[in-house]
Chain A
Amino acid sequence: DTGVSQDPRHKITKRGQNVTFRCDPISEHNRLYWYRQTLGQGPEFLTYFQNEAQLEKSRLLSDRFSAERPKGSFSTLEIQRTEQGDSAMYLCASSVLALQGEQFFGPGTRLTVL
């Protein structure tokens, strides 16, 4: 399968713990995006990378959130000191620079904060 992959698919954690998610984009895609989606809502943009550079961060991304994309390949999204309001589906997508809107999404990581 050459699509976008995310790991883990599900994560249950206790409030206050740190969690890290991984995204492996389609190999030739140089743009990578993180979104958050809660039940009944559309995906909300969090941040995106062009190669290894983080180009934009949403104001939704508080100081407890950090994302990296070392070497312009896979990306990680870390949430520190998780809160119950962080419970959501975290989606990763990738695209080719020339076709920026045609983003291909991974299956998502479902986070539940108890």
Chain B
Amino acid sequence: EDQVTQSPEALRLQEGESSSLNCSYTVSGLRGLFWYRQDPGKGPEFLFTLYSAGEEKEKERLKATLTKKESFLHITAPKPEDSATYLCAVRTLSGGYQKVTFGIGTKLQVIP
């Protein structure tokens, strides 16, 4: 069974204090890894797609990287508005159909 594990479950940072969130996965036939941001009471907002080991994507203060077993979401000099839950998801093919499995997320709080 596909498994996605995110760590830490919660992270509290001072404004400007850079850090990384981890997403490790155990799947067969990875067809993409995705990062989403979710604010309380709202649906997830798409951030990045990564398809192959060594791939990197950047958007403002966020940078996502992918290895064969895990992905990191690096946050550089975070601001309070970066506070949210960050979700990792993997897409696999199962029985000819796609399947998307989400982790439970990392709840990030950035303190001014």
> In the assembled complex, which residues on chain B have CB atoms less than 8 Å from the CB atom of A93?
43
Residues of B within 8 A of A45 (CB): 99-101
CB distance from B86 to the nearest CB of A (A): 11
Beyond A42-B89, A101-B91, is A108–B103 a contact (Cβ under 8 Å)?
Answer: no
Of chain B, the residue at the smallest CB distance from A99 is B49
Interface size, A (range): 20 to 34
Mark A85-103 against chain B: 1 for CB-CB distance below 8 A, else 0: 0000001010000011111
A101 and B34 form a contact (CB under 8 A): yes
What is the chain A residue whose CB lies nearest that of B91? A101
Contact B32 A101, beta carbon cutoff 8 Å? yes
User: How far, in whole Å, are A112 and B97 apart by their CA atoms in the complex?
Assistant: 31
Which residue on B lies nearest to A108, using beta carbons?
A: B43
Interface check B74, CB cutoff 8 A = no
| A43 adjacent to B102 (CB under 8 Å) | yes
CB B11 to nearest CB in A, in angstroms, measures: 15
Interface residues of B (CB under 8 A from A): 4, 31-32, 34, 36, 41-46, 49, 87, 89, 91, 97-105
Please name 14 further chain A to chain B contacts, defined as beta carbons within 8 Å, in addition to the given A100-B98, A102-B34, sorted by A numbering: A4-B43, A40-B104, A42-B87, A42-B102, A42-B103, A44-B102, A45-B99, A56-B98, A101-B31, A105-B44, A106-B43, A108-B41, A108-B43, A110-B41
Give the interface of A toward B (CB within 8 A): 4, 33, 35, 40-45, 48, 55-56, 91, 93, 99-108, 110
What are 13 A-B pairs at a CB distance below 8 A?
Answer: A42-B4, A42-B89, A43-B44, A100-B32, A100-B91, A101-B32, A101-B34, A101-B49, A101-B100, A102-B46, A105-B46, A107-B42, A108-B43
